[in-house]
Amino acid sequence: TLTTNDAYAKGALVLGSSLKQHRTTGKLVVLTTPQVSDSMRKVLETVFDEVLTVDVLDSGDSAHLTLMKRPELGVTLTKLHCWSLTQYSKCVFMDADTLALTNIDDLFEREELSAAPDPGWPDCFNSGVFVFQPSMETYSQLLQLASEQGSFDGGDQGLLNTYFSNWATTDIRKHLPFIYNLSSISIYSYLPAFQVFGANAKVVHFLGQIKPWNYTYDPHTKSVKSESHDPSMMHPEFLNLWWDTFSTQILPLFQHHGLVKDTHSYINVLSDLVYTLAFSCGFCRKEQVSGAMSHLLLGEVPAPPQPSVSSEERKERWEQGQADYMGADSFDNIKRKLDTYLQ
Ligand SMILES: *[C@@H]1O[C@H](CO)[C@@H](O)[C@H](O)[C@H]1NC(C)=O
Ligand SMILES: *[C@@H]1O[C@H](CO)[C@@H](O)[C@H](O)[C@H]1NC(C)=O
Ligand SMILES: [Mn+2]
């Protein structure tokens, strides 16, 4: 897989952890760019066998020259580096926003280039999951194509579909079943099919702008919080599974590597304060406080609201036990206020 920042690294960690949970016999390799922080890199090293840094700007090879001509292809060129992993005879690339639901080692029986059809244009393959064979020759041909023609969609999928242009017609064995790239979108665009075939899904791909790590998760109910009109909520079980994997397998690694240690002890102090305050006003149960803690811990706090009532009114409501938990009196705002005192 590939990650270009710390947010996608969370996805990569959950993906790697899901593959291990399903006992893959393959080695796990993640390509990273220099934007990934050192502490995140340490956590990646505990899940992946190899954590490689790819800096297209620094590489001084034809990838760098291509980038000079076509700066829009930055991430695409990084991804192409997977063809240079010639220490391996065959690989499966998986986007960092995918999750394995079962063992998928049978993919290694397929030949380059095997991929699932793209639901948007089924004669193109989707480049989120594909089987390939590392080769410096293919790598340099891909780079040459990139510099001469660019990519028709500006990304790797357009470029790869141009290079492997006979994918749709020459060998049906290179068509991975759609269940290897079950896009979360298909769940609602073709619900009857999902109800029949969804249970066989092997890989789920969280498409779109909002990724699993953008949701807020409640560890007590083991479910993500979301607007009811959010289409992903029709089948939240995949999102909940992603978060369950993240909170049980990955979060302890973050704590172990000090990524959340400071925040954690800080939250403990603050939560005691808030709990004391809340308790003395008699309106808040411990659960509500810990709910707020998990928001903070996972970095998903609601946007600070604009105060619509005067400070006096707020104080009055607070004292009457009518705190605006999700708004003006959210944990985040309380923390911000306490920060100003602590500083
Ligand atoms: C899966 O399909 C989506 C389109 O629905 C595509 O954007 C994505 O890259 C594909 N991913 C995989 C894993 O093939
Ligand atoms: C999702 O979260 C990442 C960082 O955690 C952020 O950079 C990105 O803008 C968020 N995306 C959306 C659509 O909220
Ligand atoms: Mn993706």
What spacing in Å lies between the alpha carbon of 209 and ligand 2's midpoint?
Answer: 8
Q: Which residues pair with 183 in a beta bridge?
A: 205
Instruction: Tell me, yes or no, whether 203 and 301 share the same domain.
Output: no
- 231 within domain boundaries: no
Question: What is the band of 277 on the pLDDT scale with cuts at 50, 70, 90?
Answer: very low
Instruction: Tell me, yes or no, whether 90 and 25 share the same domain.
Output: yes
Instruction: Tell me, yes or no, whether 172 and 288 share the same domain.
Output: no
Question: What is the C-alpha separation between 243 and 217, in angstroms, rounded?
Answer: 7
- 242 within domain boundaries: no
Question: Which DSSP state fits 152?
Answer: T
Per-residue pLDDT reduced to its tens digit, 192-237 = 656 656 667 888 888 778 899 998 888 888 888 876 667 666 668 8
pLDDT of residue 187: 57
Which of 81-90, 173-182, 198-207, 276-285 has the weakest average pLDDT?
A: 276-285
- 42 within domain boundaries: yes
Mutate to test the pocket of ligand 2, among 6, 10, 211, 296 (most ligand atoms within 8 A of CB): 211
Q: Which residues pair with 118 in a beta bridge?
A: 121
Q: Is the CB of 7 under 6 A from ligand 2?
A: yes
Last residue of a domain, one of 210, 238, 273: 210
pLDDT of residue 276: 41
pLDDT of residue 296: 42
Q: How many CB atoms lie within 10 A of CB 290?
A: 17
- 243 within domain boundaries: no
Q: Taking the mean position of all CA atoms in its chain, how far away is CA 235?
A: 18
Average pLDDT, the chain: 80
Bond preceding residue 113 cis, omega within 30 of 0: yes
pLDDT of residue 221: 87
State how many domains the chain has.
Answer: 2
Per-residue pLDDT reduced to its tens digit, 27-84 = 999 999 999 999 999 999 999 999 999 988 666 677 777 777 777 777 888 899 999 9
Per-residue pLDDT, averaged over 145-168, amounts to 91
Instruction: Tell me, yes or no, whether 164 and 22 share the same domain.
Output: yes
Task: Look at 256 and 292; give whichever has higher pLDDT.
Answer: 256
pLDDT of residue 262: 47
Task: Show contacts of 156-162: CB within 8 Å, 24+ apart.
Answer: 156/75, 156/76, 156/79, 156/80, 156/127, 157/118, 157/124, 157/125, 157/126, 157/127, 159/73, 159/76, 159/80, 160/113, 160/125, 160/127, 160/130, 161/124, 161/125, 161/127
**Which ligand is in closest contact with the Cα of 4?**
2
Nearest CA to ligand 2 atom 5: 7
Question: What is the band of 279 on the pLDDT scale with cuts at 50, 70, 90?
Answer: very low
Question: What is the C-alpha separation between 69 and 64, in angstroms, rounded?
Answer: 9
Nearest CA to ligand 2 atom 7: 7
Question: What is the C-alpha separation between 161 and 168, in angstroms, rounded?
Answer: 9
Question: What is the C-alpha separation between 262 and 253, in angstroms, rounded?
Answer: 14
- 246 within domain boundaries: no
Contact 67/73 with Cβ under 8 angstroms?
yes
Q: Is the CB of 301 under 6 A from ligand 2?
A: no
Instruction: Tell me, yes or no, whether 174 and 298 share the same domain.
Output: no
Specify the ligand 1 atom closest to the Cα of 116: 14
Instruction: Tell me, yes or no, whether 13 and 151 share the same domain.
Output: yes
Nearest CA to ligand 1 atom 10: 128
Note the residue count of the chain.
343
Q: What is the CATH number of the domain that holds 50?
A: 3.90.550.10
**Which ligand is in closest contact with the Cα of 189?**
1
Q: What is the pTM of this model?
A: 0.72
Question: What is the C-alpha separation between 161 and 123, in angstroms, rounded?
Answer: 9
Nearest to 173 by CA among 134, 202, 131: 131
Instruction: Tell me, yes or no, whether 204 and 268 share the same domain.
Output: no
pLDDT of residue 153: 85
- 258 within domain boundaries: no
Instruction: Tell me, yes or no, whether 195 and 114 share the same domain.
Output: yes
Q: Which residues pair with 28 in a beta bridge?
A: none
Last residue of a domain, one of 210, 239, 254: 210
Instruction: Tell me, yes or no, whether 122 and 39 share the same domain.
Output: yes
Question: What is the C-alpha separation between 117 and 127, in angstroms, rounded?
Answer: 9
Query: Is the backbone of residue 91 left (phi > 0), alpha (psi -120 to 50) or beta?
Result: beta
Specify the ligand 2 atom closest to the Cα of 209: 13
Instruction: Tell me, yes or no, whether 298 and 179 share the same domain.
Output: no
Which of 116-120, 204-208, 272-276, 285-289 has the weakest average pLDDT?
A: 285-289
Nearest CA to ligand 2 atom 4: 7
Contact 56/23 with Cβ under 8 angstroms?
no
Nearest to 128 by CA among 92, 154, 159: 92
Instruction: Tell me, yes or no, whether 271 and 205 share the same domain.
Output: no
Mutate to test the pocket of ligand 1, among 92, 127, 232 (most ligand atoms within 8 A of CB): 127
**Which ligand is in closest contact with the Cα of 204?**
1
Helix-helix angle 6-21:38-47, to 10 degrees: 10
pLDDT of residue 210: 85
Nearest to 93 by CA among 109, 77, 80: 80
Per-residue pLDDT, averaged over 156-181, amounts to 88
What spacing in Å lies between the alpha carbon of 99 and ligand 3's midpoint?
Answer: 10
Which of 139-153, 279-293, 296-310 has the weakest average pLDDT?
A: 279-293
What spacing in Å lies between the alpha carbon of 101 and ligand 3's midpoint?
Answer: 16
Nearest CA to ligand 1 atom 12: 128
Specify the ligand 2 atom closest to the Cα of 10: 5
Last residue of a domain, one of 171, 188, 210: 210
Which tokens in the block code for residue 3? Answer: 């990650």
Question: What is the band of 332 on the pLDDT scale with cuts at 50, 70, 90?
Answer: confident
What spacing in Å lies between the alpha carbon of 111 and ligand 1's midpoint?
Answer: 19
What spacing in Å lies between the alpha carbon of 94 and ligand 1's midpoint?
Answer: 10
pLDDT of residue 87: 96
Domain that holds residue 183: 2-210
- 288 within domain boundaries: yes
pLDDT of residue 248: 92
Instruction: Tell me, yes or no, whether 140 and 276 share the same domain.
Output: no
**Which ligand is in closest contact with the Cα of 97?**
3
Task: Look at 125 and 230; give whichever has higher pLDDT.
Answer: 125
Per-residue pLDDT, averaged over 260-264, amounts to 51
- 24 within domain boundaries: yes
